[in-house]
A and B are shown apart, each in its own frame.
Chain A
Amino acid sequence: MNAPAPLQRKPTTVWQMYRSIVGIGAFCALLIVSVYQGTAGRIADNRARFLGNAIEEVLPAAHSTVEVALDANGALVGAAEPADLPAYLAYGDNGELVGAVITARGMGYADNITVLYSYSFELKAIVGHKVLESKETPGLGDKVELEPHFLANFEALDARLNDDGTALANAIVTVKEGEKTEAWQLDGITGATITSDAIGAILNRASGFWLPALERDARDFRPPQSTEE
């Protein structure tokens, strides 16, 4: 046996390693930024269209919307920049206030559920809901988007405030299927208990947060500029 041959490959220099890692990093950065720049416009359009369709679905009377936010004192102001979970005031064809559209998020069975729902100032009730994002089990948890008797809850789900106007008069809760007796209860879904309970909890928390300020300030709110849909 001969002695093992000396290693054929030349040892890698530090320069070669820097060159390849930094070079590839710079190329990748350039590519990502270019693709981001190239698609940003279309992605923003797609998102706006998706949200616009969703708002139209939960509040067909809405013609234009204005995003609102709460300032440090809890007063309603126009949103300076789009929020993660935005809320909107919706105006009809003649500029009259037709309702509010609120996004809210909470834990479901598999992951967070994000819903969009509409509130009618006239009925003091939640009048529509749509699931924006959910990873709930197809065939079970996604029934909150499909089941007719669950969707019937949103004909007018009572969300009136207490006499001080500081909180909901009655907490919105989900009850067992077929046991709904009050207007603020959600008739649940057998087989999707956790998901339908979660919808109740999400609506309750978001309404407790937004509705006192909306009821107090929305009618006097002057939109800075309205966004045509």
Chain B
Amino acid sequence: MGKKQSNSTDEFVKGLWRDNPVFIQMLGLCPALAVSNTAINALAMGAATTFVLVMAGLSVSLLRNFIPREARIVSYICIIATFVTCVDYAIMAISIELHRALGAFIALIVVNCLILGRSEAFASKNRPALAVMDGLGMGAGFTAALFFIGVMREVLGSGTLFGVDLFPGGFQTWTVMVLPSGGFFAMAIWLLLVNRIRQYQAEAEKRAGEQEAAS
């Protein structure tokens, strides 16, 4: 692969689609499946993860010449755990109810492989501005993926969206969608769609390439 100078917009956009953490890289699936039973939980989890991604990326990038290779994992985990603890307190200060809904999964952001993965693979090798854009993009992609799964599960499983009843006339809810197994079903359906679209895109690109070569 040719190495080209990437700009910060590219770093942001790649997390949304080409390298989407959930649908393409398949990272951070534990919270993606566990806390996506309602749209609002999915958004809150996505926001908390994005904050930690950005702050950890920024810190690791700023300290990249200060942290020796041998001590990098302990340093990254310490930085990530610190920001997760801060998010935990912040959410409790905003709303106890929201904190209860997200339960143990806030603390588990520490071991979300997405965050350590981006710190190790990207932030430790790039400028702070790029690391922040990468964190924002990955966070937005993660939040969007959780939100899509969450909407599907909430609408089918509870007949509501953001707690608003969508079917006042009555709707036989698919209880399985709010159960843990529903997370896998919703994830599979979205993966199917995303991969189908990517396949179309790849075919279109190939055809365009062939036409260019022919002309």
Contact = CB atoms under 8 A, between A and B. Distances in A.
B66 interface: yes
Nearest to A28: B82
Nearest to A48: B96
Interface in B45-100: 63, 66-71, 74-75, 78-79, 81-82, 85-86, 89-90, 92-93, 95-97, 100
A42 B71 contact: no
Contacts of B66: 19-20, 23
Nearest to B67: A20
A43 B92 contact: yes
A35 B69 contact: no
A140 B75 contact: no
Interface residues of A, number: 28
A139 B75 contact: no
A133 B97 CA distance: 10
B178 A43 contact: no
Contact of A36 (B67, B81, B89): B89
A24 B78 contact: yes
Contacts of A32: 82, 85-86
Interface of A is mostly: helix
B75 A24 contact: yes
Contact of B92 (A19, A23, A31, A39): A39
B69 A12 contact: yes
B64 to A, nearest CB: 11
B69 A21 contact: no
Interface of B is mostly: helix
A148 interface: no
Contact of B68 (A16, A42, A46, A138): A16
A137 B179 contact: yes
A5 interface: no
B158 interface: yes
A25 interface: yes
B163 interface: no
Contacts of B37: 138
B92 A24 contact: no
Nearest to A137: B179
A17 B68 CA distance: 6
Interface in B157-186: 157-158, 173, 175, 178-179
Nearest to A31: B82
Nearest to B37: A138
B103 interface: yes
Interface of A: 9, 12, 16-17, 19-21, 23-25, 28, 31-32, 35-36, 39, 42-43, 46-47, 49-50, 133, 135, 137-140
Given A32-B85, A43-B93, A139-B179, 5 more contacts: A20-B71, A24-B75, A39-B93, A42-B93, A46-B92
